[in-house]
Amino acid sequence: MFDKLKQIEKRYEEIAQRLSQPDAYDDVARFTKLQKEQNQLCPLVETYRAYQQCVSALEGAKELLNDPEFRELAQAELEESKEKKAQLEQELKILLLPKDPNDERNVIVEIRAGVGGEESALFAHSLYRMYTMYADAWRWKTEVMNLNETELGGVKEISFLIQGDGAYSRLKFESGVHRVQRVPETEAGGRIHTSTATVAVLPEVDPVEFHIDLKDVQIDTFRSSGAGGQKVNKTSSAIRVTHLPTGMVVECQDERSQYKNKDRALSILASRLYDIEQQKQADAIASERRSQVGTGMRNERIRTYNFPQGRVTDHRIGLTLYKIDQIMDGDLDEIIDALITTEQARLLAEVEP
């Protein structure tokens, strides 16, 4: 491990030297690539250097143990350095784990109402609100790409883009079936209903990056539909893209520009097809070892939101939190951090002898 860390530190220093040269800005693409690599290596190098300092402090404390005057102080420093050294070693192991190539990408989130009629559509809207509030907390940008609403303010289906550093790394475990248990506003008898909504989190992929042969695509235009009123566009600016080989259909009608809707629809299609290819590769490489957290299966019930009891339970890791109001307001970090930690532990168990 430490030989690899030395090589990484050497590479980091080489990049820093190249970027400091007067002609570094002459090739913008090369400069951007080097800067991105430097940013990726920075956390690992900084942790490695902190580890080296800790080892030096540990050796210094050991030497002072022989001096009666400083023995007590040295013993305290020795214990502290040992604890810190173990912690930094663990951090280095985690930082050295194979990175998901999509972790730094933006994400396309698709939410669809499931079982439960109008209550399911209202819950889908609640999930959309939850994710946009979470994105705001991380200072990420959100942009609706397609929206199909109900008359009562619910969401039959919505696709939206979240742009920000590490968005996919934080949200990739949200794919699956989300279940809600609550008393609907439309229920006069006060009975608890169970409804579901499905969330899909896709890494954003440019159609150029993931090649789509336009011969395989049928593009149709139609008038935007909606809940009614002034929201409905009277011009045929909405776009429906059909991928003929798979039968996959993507609609975009949020923009009044036909060209923007076409670009967005192709972007969603590219991301969906890319996600399917990734799922196939993951199945082929390690189908038997895929963790429960990392499956991202669309039909897997991953979480329950129980409003009468004020609890949210993530079924993959057995985590239950009694702060449903905060979570629905976008306070998802505790759940997401626990999911990431579980996945890291699984990966560490695979690489360690």
What is residue 282's predicted lDDT score, i.e. its pLDDT? 62
Residue with tokens 């991301």: 271
Of the listed ranges 5-14, 95-104, 248-257, 328-337, the least confidently predicted one is 248-257
Residue-wise pLDDT tens digits, 145-176? 888 898 888 999 999 999 998 899 999 999 99
- Residue closest to 227 by CA, chosen among 162, 292, 156, 170: 156
pLDDT at residue 233 greater than cutoff 70: no
Fold of the CATH domain 2-95: Methane Monooxygenase Hydroxylase; Chain G, domain 1 (1.20.58)
- Residue 160, strand partner residues: 109, 144
User: Please, where in the chain does CATH 1.20.58 lie?
Assistant: 2-95
166-170: Cβ within 8 A, 24+ apart: 166/103, 166/104, 167/105, 167/106, 167/107, 167/135, 167/138, 167/140, 168/100, 168/102, 168/103, 168/104, 168/105, 168/106, 168/107, 168/201, 168/203, 169/100, 169/103, 169/104, 169/340, 170/138, 170/336, 170/340
Quickly state the pLDDT bin for 189 (edges 50, 70, 90): low
Q: Exposed, middle or buried by CB within 10 Å (0-12, 13-18, 19+), for 99?
A: exposed
Average pLDDT over the chain, rounded to an integer = 83
Compute the distance between CA of residue 137 and CA of residue 152 in angstroms, rounded to an integer: 28
Count CB-CB contacts under 10 A for residue 174: 24
pLDDT at residue 105 greater than cutoff 70: yes
Give just the sign of the alpha carbon dihedral 55, 61, 62, 63.
positive
pLDDT at residue 286 greater than cutoff 60: no
Instruction: Provide the 8-state DSSP code for 228.
Output: S
- For the chain, the straight-line distance linking the first and the last C-alpha, in angstroms and rounded, comes to 13
Count CB-CB contacts under 10 A for residue 125: 21
- For residue 50, CA distances in Å to 13, 45, 53, 68, 96 come to 16, 9, 5, 29, 15
Rounded mean pLDDT of 251-273?
A: 80
What is residue 198's predicted lDDT score, i.e. its pLDDT? 94
Contact by Cβ (8 Å): 15, 34: yes
Residue-wise pLDDT tens digits, 199-228? 999 888 876 667 777 888 888 887 766 554
Query: What order do you get walking across the sheet with 217-222 strand by strand?
Result: 217-222, 238-243, 248-252
- Residue 320, strand partner residues: 313
Q: Exposed, middle or buried by CB within 10 Å (0-12, 13-18, 19+), for 134?
A: buried
Q: Mean pLDDT: which of 98-107, 111-120, 275-284 is highest?
A: 111-120
User: Please, where in the chain does CATH 3.30.70.1660 lie?
Assistant: 117-345
Residue-wise pLDDT tens digits, 62-97? 877 877 777 788 788 888 888 888 888 888 888 888
What is residue 289's predicted lDDT score, i.e. its pLDDT? 40
Compute the distance between CA of residue 220 and CA of residue 226 in angstroms, rounded to an integer: 18
What is residue 123's predicted lDDT score, i.e. its pLDDT? 95
pLDDT at residue 132 greater than cutoff 90: yes
Rounded mean pLDDT of 275-302?
A: 58
Contact by Cβ (8 Å): 323, 331: yes
Which numeric CATH code is attached to 117-345?
3.30.70.1660
Written as one string, the DSSP assignment of 40-69 is HHHHHHHHHHHHHHHHHHHHHHHHHTT-TT
pLDDT at residue 128 greater than cutoff 90: yes
pLDDT at residue 144 greater than cutoff 80: yes
Compute the distance between CA of residue 99 and CA of residue 37 in angstroms, rounded to an integer: 13
Quickly state the pLDDT bin for 122 (edges 50, 70, 90): very high
Percent share of the chain, pLDDT over 90:
32
Residue with tokens 């429906």: 240
What is residue 207's predicted lDDT score, i.e. its pLDDT? 65
pTM above 0.85, yes or no: no
- Residue closest to 264 by CA, chosen among 240, 243, 247: 240
- More confident: 132 or 9: 132
Q: Mean pLDDT: which of 182-186, 233-237, 246-250 is highest?
A: 246-250
What is residue 146's predicted lDDT score, i.e. its pLDDT? 85
